[in-house]
Amino acid sequence: MTQVNRRSFLSGGIAVAGGGVLGAFGLSGVAGAVPGGPAGGQPLRVDRREITGGWSFAAADGTPVTGAQLASGRQVAGLKPAVVPGTPLTSMIANGEYPDPLYGHIVTDTVPDTLKDTGYWYRVAFPVPRLVPGQRFWLQFDGINYLGTIWLDGAEVGTVEGAFKRGAFDVTDIVAKADGTAHLAVLVGKLDHSEQPSPPSYASGVTRGGRNGGKTGITLENGPTFFCTAGWDWLPTIPDRDLGIWQPVTWSTTGPVRLADVRVDPTLSADLRTADITIDLGLDSAFGTSKTVVVKGSLDGRDFEKTVTAAAGASSVTLTSKDIAALRLSRPKLWWPNGYGDPHRYRLAIAVEAGGQVHDERTVDFGVRRIEYTKPIQSPSGSPVDCLAITVNNQPIMVMGGNWGLDEALKRIPRERLRDQVRLHRDANLNLIRNWNGQSSTEDFFDACDEFGILVWQDFFCSTEGPPPENFARDLDNIRDCIVRFRNHPSILLWCGGNEGPPPQPLIDGLDALVAELDPNRASLTSSAGDTGKDPIGGYSSGGPYHWVTPSTHFSLNDGTRWPPFHNEVGSYSIPTLEFIKKMLPEASWEHPDDFWADRDVNGNGGNGGGAGYLQLTAQRYGELRNLPDFARKSQLMNYECIKAIYEAHAANMASAAPGKPYPRTGVIMWMTNPAQPSFVWQMYSHDLEAHSSFYAVQHACRRVNVILDSQTLDVVIANHTRTTVKGTVAATLYDLTGAEFASTSLRVGEAAASDHTVIGSIAEQLNGAPSDIAFVRLVFEDSRGAELVRNFYWLENPARPAGFTSLDDAPAAAVSVTADADHGHDGLELTVDVENTGEAVALMVHLQVYDTRTGERVLPATFSDNYLNLAGGESSSVRVRLTDEQTRHRTVGVRIEGWKIDQRASRLRGRGVAVTFNQAALSTHPPKNTFGR
């Protein structure tokens, strides 16, 4: 295969359909015997079957029997039902031994940390087919944390080392003797290194013990595991450290020749007119000598076949468009990142046959796209540096991304939950997820990113928060398997050695060698803090800030005067809704911040002086915190203004340099967007997938055409991420605290360049004339025909007398009209909610929730097309939300409303087929006597 510069060009993707190795039969589900025998025409190939039910488990230290004895039909005392995939703690919660420790509890006070100090036995019996001559039976493990030893029907069949390594075992000889039922036992080994937890302490103002990764960080010596479960500033110590069979266990059959690996490598031409598809097949033959086999396939409606030779044992075959015309695509449909086009995927069916029988087959989806990774930008030294700047299909991409620390604290990650989490990133207008330290590496995750057009920055397993892994070979073995397993997903942008600092040199060299061998067209970075590889990529860094700062601070940090251009970690506090705060804390702690708040990460990384300092800052900016509803209400404004500025500051200075601003922004990745547990920080939605104000701040800031107010300079900027220029007019209207208009201006947009920012004017003069301490600013961008492209809204301090926003409580209450309609379709319920400001006072941060009218519980996930609405007098907005049949079954759905200050008597609520009401609990922000923190 011709080698190309690994920094420059294309990559393609393969996503195994349905999240696994699926063939044309489309079979899945609980394991069951294959009907029929040789006389009935039983196929050699039986698609992958998941072994889901009937598992039991026990702590290994208390189980005296051997693996051979467990992998049999004998009765064994002391085993309890197990959830697989899952962790020991997940099974214990399901069995009623412990409550869910993430809600209403301090984790390490609720579950003993001794769960980590033993390995665990897992056991299951499952039906197997009668094998026909030549048929091979395969047992596959997609993920065991941390070490797995496998027995089947009394025989040890192999081991799996590391959480991210698969294990596939040919157990044909054993199953041939099984007489219809096989007995499987798995010993899950404990971590080689662990330590006691650091308990949460609200009074300390810092994360657990002030150190991520535990008191010494020794957990990181294990290498490829979920080391964050030792305790981080966004995750409590998880008592079982997420040990267990955390990914599916499956079986399948093939003929003598197995497709051990299928790699699809599309090469897209520079003019995007043609794509040549290379298919690399790894064959595993049980024949003792070389055999002639036929490879048959179908791509984009065109069938092909080729006769090849399969050597005994392992061999490889490469198919190219030079030999097979069907592997050249003319005018291919491309895979695009979110917001730039359709993330189209092609489907390839491929099979290997001999003697008229299908030995093995795959159905895979893949994407065609072309990536360039850098552009030269003059560095502070005066010399140009190849800086991280992404171009996909010749379109510059301003990276607007989110970091994932862990998909879920206890690894409770069914496919639909993961899909919803990634979909929320699509809906928030993001285009990238950084998979921090590879902690969320599953087929389901990458499948969802492929589907929704989300690029993936894929880290591996090293972090600067502790010592390096002691077993480099194990680390590299897991890295190798990850690259081979996931390399064909179109969503994967690049590989990265680790977090915030370089791994040991042997791992750096090993990663670079593996990428050069296995996936040479993708970039490989040394770490998230810098690259030391061949032809290094520069111009990016981590480093925060990770706490709340003013919007103008973000604009000053990213105004093009500071190096580097790409920032992959920056975040803030992100307080959830009142309902979720009550759900995640015990009632006694609602009004009294304490260690329960600390276990929900309120101290963050110690920025803002920890949780107590953040509460004080909120009170200074928006007024004394009277009760919990008042804290939740004010926090939504704190969320919105800071997190919106993180993205807007980068977009307002993207792509091209300006005089005195030589370092334009090329990307930003917020720390974080997905919460691993119920939390007060670093998220854009809650653990239960409720989108609070942070989500809509991201969504509004990352629109592909946006009009932005630079809160540092008061310039008005068009951020145009698209491939075409835009023009028109921006109307800027300024309102005082009462909602009365006191100034306006019209700014002409002669031509805002594609994939760039354009400064079109300033409102500094108008704002300086504000008659009150606070001004509201509405920006509306219309094209040359008068069609509205985008509108934006800000609340600002009067530059002449900055005093925060405490006087918002003196603003008059807003009168609103809310009308909701329900449309029952064949695939669910669609709600349309029309909100109008019928008075003069500004309706600030009007929040809508869908709820069950009988229980009062929120219906989730329910992401509105817009929310936390800001409407000047006379303005209106129409909002939509779609719910599935499953969400609305056995529920009467309603919509409730709250906001900053709403005049309920002057407002009108109407529902057509759906109840509409005020959220009285959230609106009760003025108790007779202040109760918060007292």
**Using one digit for the tens of pLDDT, what is the confidence trace for 542-582?**
999 999 999 999 999 999 999 999 999 999 999 999 999 99
Give the DSSP H/E element, type plus range, for residue 385. Answer: strand 384-392
CA angle (138 as vertex; 83, 251 as ends), nearest 5 = 35
Question: Which amino acid, 801?
Answer: R
> Exposed (0-12), middle (13-18) or buried (19+): which is 787, by Cβ within 10 Å?
exposed
Question: What Å distances lie between residue 889 and 596, 644, 859, CA to CA?
Answer: 34, 36, 11
Give the helix ranges, DSSP H, for 385-442: 415-427
CB 23 within 8 A of CB 347: no
Angle at 115 between CA 112 and CA 119, to 5 degrees: 170
Task: Identify the helix (H) or strand (E) that includes residue 447.
Answer: helix 443-452
My answer on whether omega of the bond before 672 falls inside 30° of 0, hence cis, is: yes
- pTM of the full structure: 0.94
The crossing angle, in degrees rounded to 10, of helices 472-486 and 443-452 is: 40
Identify the H or E element spanning 123: strand 120-127
Three-state SS at 841: coil
The torsion angles phi and psi of 267, rounded to 5 degrees, stand at -115, 110
**What's the token pair of residue 709?**
């107010």
At residue 201's C-alpha, the angle toward residues 196 and 204, to 5°, is 115
DSSP bridge partners of 330: 274
Q: Phi then psi for 218, rounded to 5 degrees? A: -65, -20
d(CA 379, CA 564): 8
Q: What Cα–Cα distance (Å) separates residue 109 from each residue in 106, 191, 431?
A: 5, 22, 39
Query: How many degrees, rounded to 5, is the angle at CA 911 between CA 816 and CA 834?
Result: 45
Is residue 710 exposed (0-12), middle (13-18) or buried (19+ Cβ within 10 Å)? buried
Alpha-carbon distances, residue 84 vs 29, 53, 79, 597, 729 (angstroms): 13, 8, 14, 31, 58
Tokens 């003025």 locate to: 926
- What 3-state DSSP class applies to 886? helix
| Residues sharing a CB contact under 8 Å with residue 483, sequence separation 6 or more, in sequence order | 495, 514, 515, 518, 519
Output the pLDDT for position 275. Answer: 98
Which residue stretches of the chain have pLDDT < 70? 1-42
3-state secondary structure labels for all residues of 15-56: EEHHHCCCCCCCCCCECCCCCCCHHHCCCCCEEEEECCCCCE
Q: Which of 770, 654, 771, 628 is nearest to 710 (CA)?
A: 654
Q: How confident is the model at residue 708, as a pLDDT?
A: 98
Q: Residue 715: how many CA atoms within 13 Å on its side-chain side?
A: 16
Q: In what order do the strands lie in the sheet containing 432-435?
A: 523-525, 492-499, 455-463, 432-435, 399-404, 667-674, 566-570, 540-541
Compute the distance between CA of residue 168 and CA of residue 154 in angstroms, rounded to an integer: 18
Q: Which residue reads 């090329």 in tokens?
A: 666
Helix and strand numbers, DSSP H then E, in the chain: 17, 45
User: What one-character DSSP code corresponds to residue 512?
Assistant: H
**Tokens coding 311:** 């050597």
